[in-house]
Amino acid sequence: MLKTTLSLLFVVLLLPLGVAVGDDTTPSLEWRVGVAAARITPEQRLHMAGYAGRKEPAEGTEQDLFGKAIAIEDRAGNRVVFVTLDLIGVLAKLRTEVASQVQEKYELPPQALLMNASHTHCGPDYGREDAQGYFASLTTTLVELVGQSLEQLQPAKLSYSVAKCSVAMNRRTPSETGFLNHPNPQGPVDHSVPVLSVRNPADDMLRAVVFGYGCHNTTMGFLQWLGDYAGYAQEYFEADHPGVTALFMMGCGGDQNPYPRSELKYAQQHGRSLATAVEAALEVNQRTPRHQQPLHGPLTSVLETVDLEFATPDRPDFAYPVQVIRFGNDLMLVALGTEVVVDYALRLKSELTKPDGPAIWVAGYSNVYSGYIPSQRVLLEGGYEANSRPWKPTLEERIVGKVHELVEKLP
């Protein structure tokens, strides 16, 4: 009742401005969007996630880490919130804590909350016993971020566009002794940079961008907090567009690395390349943009799990989350859990894309983090991504099948 009353009040307040109720083409009535950001750089000395060889805690901060939230609401009051994190992954217990609290405090159901991590290897190992204080603080911060983004909801226009960036390279090189973790310029990649842009209806000024890319954030592995190339991409874009919030959503980069690596200048150069790709997607300085796809409602979302089988006897199945969020017939975002290899993005975009249907955006590293998700090809080929978890070969078909099942459930 409260949501209905507020929605009606929102319409009534707009009537004096000459806005016609029921006019589906009116941008100010299509969407409301709110954005919030918070620094999540650890204050205490903590161990770092990503590389087991680093035995000592972090020694300082090269770049602050951030958590960011963007809340999106359609004209009917349907809402979703994206939470993006400069962290190694979304641990299951973090997802559970945040989802439970935002449902209780803000009536946001779990299927409407997407949590995505950039997979930086220069963030905290926040699941450790000695990081409990940070974990508790992080949870509180993220719940507050969701609330702040919902409080900031205001009329907006949404558009989708895409560009390309060549930072990523496949890291699986075939050899006589198997597949090596080494740059392979002939291997499959997904260089697409999907961009969701948020603008003010009145003056068309940019307020926020959500952009994706499928590549490990592993340029650096030193003992400093760092968002890596994705952190720099967000930082550079926000510096070039004062007042705009940039949120990075990690794609299917399980078998992709940024090259060159191991020097800070490369993380910065990769970040600049990606930030420039976002500019290209937005058609900055083009007199007549021709590739901006306006998004219309309704906004719908669904989140379910599919059981993945291990090849190891007596090991329980893994409940793997699959989430689909749809913006009418204009954009569909598929969010897959943990470290998904690029084959999933390439296959799902191929199978789900229709000439008259929504654009397809596939994200990985979403809602749970628990090791690699190889495709059937990678699993049978072997190598690092395949050997990290003893999955059965049915893995890919189960995940892709669940995606198709959920897509059919949405209007």
Give the global pTM: 0.92
Rounded average pLDDT over 241-255: 98
Rounded average pLDDT over 164-170: 98
- Do residues 325 and 301 lie in contact, with contact meaning Cβ atoms separated by under 8 Å? yes
Rounded average pLDDT over 32-38: 98
Per DSSP, what are the bridge partners of residue 124?
Answer: 48
Interior/surface letters 75-106, b for 16+ CB within 10 angstroms, e for the rest = beeebbbbbbbbbbbbbbebbebbbebbeeeb
Phi/psi at 197 (nearest 5 deg)?
Answer: -110, 145
Q: How far apart are the first and last CA of the chain?
A: 24
Query: What's the pLDDT score for residue 27?
Result: 42
Query: What's the pLDDT score for residue 313?
Result: 87
Query: What's the pLDDT score for residue 4?
Result: 35
Rounded average pLDDT over 7-15: 34
**Is residue 372 predicted with pLDDT exceeding 80?**
yes
Measured torsion, CA atoms of residues 117, 122, 124, 127, in degrees rounded to the nearest 10: 60
4: number of Cβ within 10 Å: 10
Q: pLDDT band for position 179 (50/70/90)?
A: very high
Range of lowest pLDDT (11-20, 82-91, 229-238, 382-391): 11-20
Helix 228-240 to helix 264-281 angle (10° resolution) is 50
With H, G, I as helix, E, B as strand and everything else as coil, classify residue 64. Answer: coil
- Do residues 245 and 176 lie in contact, with contact meaning Cβ atoms separated by under 8 Å? no
Alpha carbon distance 37, 145 (integer Å): 7
In the 3-class helix/strand/coil scheme, how is 181-196 assigned residue by residue? EEEECCCCCCCEEEEE
pLDDT in tens, 346-358: 999 999 999 998 9
Q: Which two tokens stand for residue 41?
A: 């750089």
Q: Where are the domains of the chain?
A: 26-409
Name the H helices within 258-311: 264-281
Rounded average pLDDT over 181-203: 97
Per DSSP, what are the bridge partners of residue 196?
Answer: 160, 210
Strand 178-184 versus strand 192-199 pairing type: unpaired
Alpha carbon distance 119, 76 (integer Å): 34
For every residue of 176-233, DSSP letters joined together read TTEEEEEEETTS----EEEEEEEE-TTT--EEEEEEEE-S-B-S--SSEE--HHHHHH
Phi/psi at 35 (nearest 5 deg)?
Answer: -130, 145
Compute the mean pLDDT over every residue in the chain, rounded to the nearest whole number.
93
Query: What's the pLDDT score for residue 237?
Result: 98
**Is residue 159 predicted with pLDDT exceeding 80?**
yes
- The residue whose two tokens read 């495709």 is 375
Q: Which helix H or strand E contains 322, and what residues bound it?
A: strand 318-327
Rounded average pLDDT over 34-55: 96
Rounded average pLDDT over 104-111: 98
